[in-house]
């Protein structure tokens, strides 16, 4: 799952860079407003790419979920200031 999110992130960022390069390397020769529009679209892509890359999948372990190792979970709970009921 992580590999797929990472791949989608890199594809989105490659599209973003490609839009910038095409806008100012090629499209601006024929139409500056079209090049500016392409840059505006490219400017919106990185926040969405970051959201895709950092989205938690259903099988991903969240930071405060128990790991299954009682000693490790007890140690982390102690660091976080949580008291476990026994």
pLDDT at res. 55: 82
**CA-wise closest residue to 42 among 64, 59, 24:** 24
What number is the average pLDDT over the span 75-85? 72
Cβ count within 10 A of residue 42? 19
- Using one digit for the tens of pLDDT, what is the confidence trace for 1-45? 678 888 999 999 999 999 999 999 999 999 999 999 999 999 999
How far apart, in whole angstroms, are the C-alpha atoms of residue 20 and residue 41?
Answer: 9
């Amino acid at each position: 799952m992580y590999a797929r999110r990472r791949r989608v992130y890199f594809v989105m960022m490659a599209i973003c860079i490609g839009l910038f390069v095409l806008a100012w390397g090629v499209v601006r020769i024929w139409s500056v407003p079209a090049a500016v529009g392409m840059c505006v679209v490219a400017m919106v892509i990185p926040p969405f790419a970051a959201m895709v890359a950092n989205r938690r999948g259903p099988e991903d372990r969240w930071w405060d979920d128990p790991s299954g190792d009682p000693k490790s979970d007890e140690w982390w709970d102690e660091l976080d200031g949580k008291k476990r009921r026994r």
